[in-house]
Amino acid sequence: MDVTVREMISGDWDAVQRIYQDGIDTGIATFQPEVPPFAEWDRVHLPFCRLVAVASDIVIGFAVLMPVSARAVYAGVAEVSIYIAPEYAGKGAGTILLNALIAASERHGIWMLQSGILSGNVASVRLHEKCGFRLVGYREKIGCDRYGTWRDVIFFERRSHAVAWEESAEK
């Protein structure tokens, strides 16, 4: 499968929304109960590093970053959100997309990426490990899913080899 990655454009929202909903429907991708309106989604994500994976002119996945805090000291730290359409899962698109997101984040001075993965999401754990993230811990029963079950989150991080935290702090 030939996959390219590019910046997300406004015309991609319908595909992104569908892919996000597919992830929500799995019950293991997010605590989010439904796809928010674009304005809300746009507000909580960084304005850069909004990428889509495309195969045969079809958006098959997306990856974006969220700030972990509004405090200036955390400006070089961001949280990853990545989703692949179910019919393209396990075919390498996630690896291509996450590696592209890592490279884009470094171009923007991000020195650490973090990801909270719901326990049971084995594919996401494997993807993050494959792309250089390391397990840093578990957060027990940190959130309640849409079925009323308290769930654990597995916490991963990836520190940049290209951007040092000292460089990020000087900006």
**Cα separation values, 149 from 69, 122, 141, Å:** 27, 19, 9
**Cα separation values, 87 from 17, 23, 47, 58, 128, Å:** 15, 12, 28, 12, 20
Per-residue pLDDT tens for 44-68? Answer: 999 999 999 999 999 999 999 999 9
Instruction: Give the pairing of strands 134-144 and 112-118.
Output: unpaired
Predicted pLDDT of residue 3: 96
pLDDT greater than 80 at residue 171: no
- The first and second tokens of residue 141, run together, are 């029963």
Per-residue pLDDT tens for 107-146? Answer: 999 999 999 999 999 999 999 999 999 999 999 999 988 8
Per-residue pLDDT tens for 71-102? Answer: 988 889 999 999 999 999 999 999 999 999 99
Report the 10 Å Cβ neighbour count for 99.
15
**Phi, psi angles (nearest 5°) of residue 71:** -70, 140
For domain 4-169, say whether CATH 3.40.630.30 is its number. yes
Predicted pLDDT of residue 167: 54
Chain centroid to Cα 169, Å, comes to: 23
pLDDT greater than 90 at residue 148: no
